[in-house]
Chains A and B, each alone.
Chain A
Amino acid sequence: MTSAAVTPDSEITSETAEAALGGGRFDRVKKRLTSPWATLAAIVIALLWTIPTFGLFLSSFRPADQIATTGWWTFFTDPQLTLDNYGEVLFSGSSSSPQLGEYFVNSLLISIPGTLIPLVLASLAAYAFAWVKFKGSSTLFVIVFALQIVPLQMALIPLLQLFVTFLQPFQNALHEAIPFISDKQFLPVWIAHTIFGLPLAIFLLHNFISEIPREVIEAARVDGAGHGQIFFRIILPLAMPAIASFGIFQFLWVWNDLLVALVFSSGTPDTAPLTQRLAELAGSRGEDWERLTAGAFVSLIVPLLVFFGLQRYFVRGLLAGSAKG
């Protein structure tokens, strides 16, 4: 085992690791793997997957009556664009529902803790399941795994009962002590998202964490590292691509969630997220659905930024060099 890339203190980034592994041969591998046909296939898939979104994107700039009567591709022969849909979505603030900005802040404040907390708890639990020997580990893991199928809808009412009896008095007390923190808070939404995200998170992260070569961990144990040190110095850095991937997905689910927000947020602008406002924009009878085309893109921006931001963690060769298999 060449431990250059895996020892915790290593400053070597993946790029340098790759370079160290011999750039010349590396380039040849790359050439052969991406043949023209593969590139063509990739472009076809990318096109197929993008066209529907692109259609929606164009539609979001078309006048409402045009969307309903002609296909979006007629834009190319008869370009008619308007910002009305975006104008309505972004600036149609009113007494009952203020402008989108406030909901945007709410969505962020729900999504960030709603992603970080389950990630931390799940990586701890995943490490325990993967690398701490104890009786019943497999059974417990299977139970956690099977919990994924408990339908969210069935868990809403019992959880709400718990929150009302236990969390509500606490929240009210907090509000009375610190008046500018509203009595309608994000806390229940965070906890709910954490609970609902945990089974899948533990399952996914366990898979990656258990793939870490045994030698790496045993070497650390021999050096006298405890579980805490192993977790922070070895598991976390090595599992970062997996954690980042799951972080993106958890963020997406929380960001796009409507059901949990409806039940556990107050529903008022104090805590309601973007999705709730967008659902309202469609109108009582769904008559203003063309606003949803613009709304869908407004709410798409943040997840895409997160995706770009975390993409640097999806790096090649973090485990490269470890003798495995």
Chain B
Amino acid sequence: MIAVQDRKIALWNIGVAYAAFLIGTLCGLLQVFIRNDALQLPAWLDYYQILTAHGVLLALVFTTFFIFGFFITGMSKSLGSFGPKVRLFSWIGFWVTLLGTVMATAMIVAGEASVMYTFYAPLQASGFYYVGLALVIVGTWISSFALVGHYRVWRKNNKGQLSPLFAFMTITTIIMWIIACLGVVATVLFQYIPWAFGWTDTIDVELSRTLFWFFGHPLVYFWLLPAYMAWYVIVPKILGVKVFSDSLARLSFVLFILFSIPVGFHHQLTEPGISNFWKFLQVVLTFMVIVPSLMTAFSMFATFEIAGRKNGGKGIFGWFTKLPWRDIRFTSIFIAMAFFIPGGAGGIINASFQLNEVVHNTLWIVGHFHITVGTPVAMTFMGLTFWLIPYLTGRKFTKSMKVLGLVQIITWSIGMLLMSTAQHLLGLLGAPRRTAYSGYNDHPAAMEWFDGILTNHVTMAIGGSILFVSAMILIYIVIMTMFLSPKAVEPKDVVDFPMAESDMTRTPKWLENWWIWIGLAVALIVIAYAIPLSHMIQHAPPGSEGFKTW
């Protein structure tokens, strides 16, 4: 059991995460019914306001707070209790992130920021929306530096040793996050805030988009890597085996520092201002992340097979049936991984240069999002929640909670399968993303999209409704395990943090020499961005004034 003060920081982070989850999924429910014309919003509320809130609260706020709750718990568990300074800065980080979140959300609710979480200029939100977003980033940096400080103390006290795998992976994720944020911090601080408060008249739109996507793609790895941590470190323990290969796990993580950042152009493939050469170069770099992903897939299935055989599984696939399917901590994460197979394949399609034109900004992308961050990441976090909250509160995870957990996971899977399949197919037909109900004045081409067995207004709404039910079950579980479930008194009821053993005897020391990885990452960023970015700045057109088109 970790120190009670550390548990408190983690619980507050997780609590805020699920408050955001509650509001965010409610917005999602409203959206599916507006999109099929079953629901009319009151005049003071706009579809795009709800859509912005859905994106910000789920993709940014839920993920970020949950990730820090998970990191704080795991770092305290693997490296020992926090010192007073680490604790202080973890709290400051938490409050600053929360302040930023509240500011940004208030602006969305006030109708001053219906600009989506991508906030593309020259849509101009209230300056306080951008300040809020900046505070969110600064808050995460403070929390990050607290954890880095904790890690440095451990390294000083354990000279010459490799750190535990959980800590190593946390630091990898944080390094990637801090480098990635430089792009969004630059654009928000030097472009958006002066422009939104009227200190400058115009903004260079293409530059702001490019700096945003410097951050926007590694942002998705910031969500994914904590899920990968659960897959590498938590799952083997649940299965009763060791980490398959410590060195490969570490290698795959450092490869993400290298290849998740110099790739933002693959979100800008169909836009002007970047020449084909640089777009293609970043497409190639994007595809390099397939290597660590393949390594991860191999490690996972190797872990499953070893565990299944240990339980008496025979033959080529017999081990599969011997996995602990009734253990909700495992089943949830297994389904999350399964969703990532089509999710990852869809990502390869999206980033495939000219192929991107077929899917760019269609509903396909929305479908892709929901079977990457919306299920592999989110469902892994759900699978963690089932033991993480009871572990932190010292409460039982009762039998009825286990059953509810299973219902929650299954409903989420079914809802997501229906909704994301409909979205993918509709996108292939050409239906655009981020739109309220529209038939383009009953245009025959648009009517045709919604005429299929799966591609119609109803499938998406059914999927969305099932997802909302699932979300509410989860909220119930969270409230119970946080405040109401009975305290675990008997040793058999105590919920533990499943952290697998990892054999480091053959892991090379250079894997934990961060300067190698930071240096290589910077070199790749310079190669991928220096020339096109300086060209963009030198040949910039006159800037754009702000517009409030909502």
Q: Do A and B come from one complex?
A: no
Which residues of A does B touch, CB under 8 Å?
A: none
